[in-house]
Amino acid sequence: MFMATLAIAGTPGFSGFFSKDEILLAAQRASTPLWALGVLTAGLTSFYMFRLLFLTFFGAQRFDEKHVHVHESPRNMLAPLVVLAILAVGGGWMAAPHLWGGANLFEQYLAPVFSTAPETPAAAAEASVGAIELLQALLGAPVIAGLIGFFLRLVVLYSQPQNTEEACRLARCDLQTAQRKYFVDELYAAVIVRPLVWISDKVLWRVVDEGVIEGTVNGVAHVSRETGDRLRYAGTGNIRTYAAWILVGAVVFTSLLLWMVG
């Protein structure tokens, strides 16, 4: 868990050190605000991952030993975790030679997945310069943001607020706002949930389902039933009646034929 935390936080040497910061480098080339947002997110990632680590393995016990038995995962879960741990520690080193101008083995491994145009000599020269730029980025703002997130978590951990009121006082926030989680749930319910419920009830159910779908199905059944009920009276069993209907049909058919020909 500790190695996974270091990897996700982008600690130098771990897999996230290579993947996350190379993404940030691409974002920096495209847009400085996007890069800044990515760096901020890297700091937040480090903060909440170390929070998870400290709350799980340090501090006061949060379970009752009489009702909960803490044990290792079974082998069918542990084996994939071991593989992921190994990749979290050393997976990024496939791209390490790129830092000193060598080949990016991870990029070459994924090359068959992505369709790219043949690299020109100018692009190759630009990639060589990009390796130095990448090394500067890896040792710059993203790593610093991760360290800031780690130390902020330590400060919050050792300040040890005993309750919500004290934690809110330390953060200088409004207690009700903090307890209501900044009204995110209320905003989500007002903007997303309630409109969807109204549309589902008033439009999709009552109009589409009951009015259109059920109305069409029930209407076809009603017309079929009524038509069959009326047509059954035509079967009187009287030969003279059948002959009259045949005569009427012949007259109608002949009239239509003459009208179409004329």
Walk along the chain (262 residues) and give the pLDDT tens digit of each residue. 888 888 888 787 788 777 776 777 777 778 888 888 888 888 888 888 888 888 788 777 777 778 888 888 888 998 998 888 888 888 877 777 766 667 777 677 767 765 555 555 554 444 444 555 555 555 666 667 767 767 676 666 555 544 445 555 545 555 566 566 677 888 888 999 999 999 999 888 888 888 888 888 888 888 888 888 887 777 777 777 778 888 888 998 889 888 888 6
Distance CA 77, CA 194 (A): 40
Dihedral sign (CA 99, 100, 106, 108)? positive
N- to C-terminal Cα separation, the chain = 91
Full-model pTM? 0.49
d(CA 153, CA 136): 26
Percentages of the chain per state (helix, strand, coil), in multiples of 5: 80, 0, 20
191: which DSSP letter?
I
Q: What is the DSSP string of 166-195?
A: HHHHHHT--HHHHHTGGGHHHHHIIIIIHH
pLDDT tens digits for 100-124? 667 777 677 767 765 555 555 554 4
Report pLDDT for 99: 65
**Cα angle for residues 172, 178, 180 (degrees, 5° grid):** 160
Q: How far apart are CA 160 and CA 194, in angstroms?
A: 39
What is the distance between the alpha carbons of residues 17 and 7, in angstroms, rounded to a whole number? 7
